[in-house]
Amino acid sequence: MLTAGPKGTNDILPGEIEKWHYLEEVIREICRQYGYSEIRTPVFEHTELFLRGVGDTTDVVEKEMYTFIDKGKRSISLRPEQTASVVRSYVEHKIYAQPQPTKVYYLGPMFRYANVQAGRYRQFHQFGVEVLGSYDPVVDAEVITMAMEFYHRIGLHGMELHINSVGCKECRPVHRQRLLEFLNPKEKKLCHLCRSRLAKNPMRILDCKEEQCQELSRGAPATADCLCEKCASHFAMVRKYLDDVGIQYNVNDRLVRGLDYYTNTAFEIMVSDIGAQSSIGGGGRYDGLIEEVGGPPTPGIGYALGLERIIAAMERQGLEFAKDRTFDVFVAALGEKAREQAFKLVLDFRRAGLVAEMDLMGRSLKAQMKFADRFNSGFTLILGDEELAKGVIVVRNMAAGEQTEIPLGGILDYLTKQKRRNSST
């Protein structure tokens, strides 16, 4: 249909875009302070990157990718997330040869072919950060802290931070083995999905929402109990750092992130009031990913949040983030001569840094006044034949309902002074 965008996409219109600008400002500011530089990567990549980088058994890759064959017969996919792209770029440009760690952030659209519901779209936007090149648990703590700090800055409340450690490639198989020993005897009672998970990725069973499966997996060996010494102390340090700065968290040994590449620290932030999709961000460490994509063995950790969900949560919590459109000055002109003068005046005002507007609809004076009022114009200037003849202009202070005449030549000076006075009080 010609007059409807594709399913799961959204136009961000005037009135709405201001919210995005606000969030983007907060994001850029916090990233500057934390020492993250922006990275921009293409919105599409070779499909293979996501197969390797996200994992070919994940839902995201298995059933949600926008994949197509381009005219050069290459398989291309729109990015379902950006970590894989960042890692690819890191390897491609040999950024590991520079002083480490590499700290980058990104902000942009992602694409997943999933059915639409509250807080889920086919094109959605993520802000994310990645730190590449350091194993140090202080980095894990920094990333988590930064995420929480961001939520606080925009005024969000009621977040829950869940953290877990899923171990490294040494201790993961140990956990897997213990888990299989625990679950295999119960196989017949698991839901059919979990039965297939048993072979592919038994850890996911812990994450199953089926009551029956939850019941069955109660008492299952937790990842935290199977961690090797190194991973255990890493996780302990991450928690210690978080404790030190007073960040509250839940150690949730059922938290298993959906993407295959996570190792050690995994975390997720939820907020209850945006419908069934309560996750407003998540991330974790991925110490094997860079190697997987063809780089040198390099650790990494990242985090991403969904802007649509952030906005939904903010709206639900009644938070303010957008100022309404207002004019410093509106020029109401009557007659062609006055309009020509108004056109010049508005240019002068704008050059002086004022938000200035004039009538663009050929409206009556009354209607122009009404329009100026609608947009909370600070001053409305009235210019007609009488004023032109006298070389003056009427300046009306809209809030006070008072007006005076000012010589035309002095009007810019008058307005800039008024503006300065207002902003200093």
Q: Give residues 155-184 in contact with RNA (rule: CB under 7 A).
A: none
Among the residue ranges 19-27, 54-62, 147-155, 343-351, the one whose residues contact RNA (CB under 7 A): 54-62
The yes or no reply on residue 276 touching RNA (CB under 7 A) is yes
The yes or no reply on residue 220 touching RNA (CB under 7 A) is no
The three-class DSSP label of residue 32 is helix
Closest distance between RNA and the C-beta of residue 206, in Å?
10
The amino acid occupying position 214 is Q
Among the residue ranges 23-31, 55-63, 143-151, 159-167, the one whose residues contact RNA (CB under 7 A): 55-63
Asked if residue 157 lies in contact with residue 135, where contact means CB atoms within 8 angstroms, the answer is no
For residue 345, give every residue at least 6 positions away whose Cβ sits within 8 Å of its Cβ, in sequence order, or none: 331, 356, 358, 381, 383, 411, 412
- If the CB atoms of residues 137 and 378 are measured against RNA, the closer one turns out to be 378
Closest distance between RNA and the C-beta of residue 374, in Å?
6
The yes or no reply on residue 124 touching RNA (CB under 7 A) is yes
Give the number of C-alpha atoms closer than 13 A to the C-alpha of residue 280, restricted to the C-beta side: 25
- If the CB atoms of residues 126 and 145 are measured against RNA, the closer one turns out to be 126
The yes or no reply on residue 366 touching RNA (CB under 7 A) is yes
- If the CB atoms of residues 251 and 365 are measured against RNA, the closer one turns out to be 365
Closest distance between RNA and the C-beta of residue 244, in Å?
26
- If the CB atoms of residues 142 and 308 are measured against RNA, the closer one turns out to be 308
Other C-beta atoms lying within 10 Å of the C-beta of residue 354: 20
Angstrom distance (rounded) from CA 357 to CA 330? 5
The yes or no reply on residue 114 touching RNA (CB under 7 A) is yes
Among the residue ranges 22-30, 88-96, 286-294, 390-398, the one whose residues contact RNA (CB under 7 A): 390-398
Range 314-353, binding RNA (CB under 7 A):
334
The yes or no reply on residue 126 touching RNA (CB under 7 A) is yes
Cis bond before residue 101 (omega within 30° of 0): yes
Question: Which member of 67, 100, 250, 279 binds RNA (CB under 7 A)?
Answer: 279
Closest distance between RNA and the C-beta of residue 328, in Å?
13
- Rg, the chain, Cα only: 29
Question: Which member of 133, 167, 282, 295 binds RNA (CB under 7 A)?
Answer: 282
Tell me the CA distances in angstroms from 155 to 38, 57, 126, 214, 280, one per residue in order: 24, 37, 19, 34, 14
Question: Which member of 51, 107, 198, 208 binds RNA (CB under 7 A)?
Answer: 208
Closest distance between RNA and the C-beta of residue 423, in Å?
19
Other C-beta atoms lying within 10 Å of the C-beta of residue 236: 13
Could you identify the residue written with the tokens 């009551």? 211
Among the residue ranges 132-140, 172-180, 214-222, 368-376, the one whose residues contact RNA (CB under 7 A): 368-376
Closest distance between RNA and the C-beta of residue 335, in Å?
9
Range 10-39, binding RNA (CB under 7 A):
none
For residue 243, give every residue at least 6 positions away whose Cβ sits within 8 Å of its Cβ, in sequence order, or none: none
DSSP output for 141-170: HHHHHHHHHHHHHTT---EEEEEEE---TT
Range 77-106, binding RNA (CB under 7 A):
81
The yes or no reply on residue 67 touching RNA (CB under 7 A) is no
Question: Which member of 87, 259, 345, 411 binds RNA (CB under 7 A)?
Answer: 259
Token pair, residue 124, equals 């959605």
The yes or no reply on residue 281 touching RNA (CB under 7 A) is yes
Burial 289-306 (b: 16+ CB within 10 A, else e): bbeebebeebbbbbbbbb
The yes or no reply on residue 394 touching RNA (CB under 7 A) is yes
The yes or no reply on residue 56 touching RNA (CB under 7 A) is no
Closest distance between RNA and the C-beta of residue 228, in Å?
24
Asked if residue 160 lies in contact with residue 270, where contact means CB atoms within 8 angstroms, the answer is yes
The yes or no reply on residue 399 touching RNA (CB under 7 A) is yes
Tell me the CA distances in angstroms from 258 to 54, 261, 294, 328, one per residue in order: 9, 9, 22, 50
Q: Which helix (H) or strand (E) holds 200?
A: helix 192-200
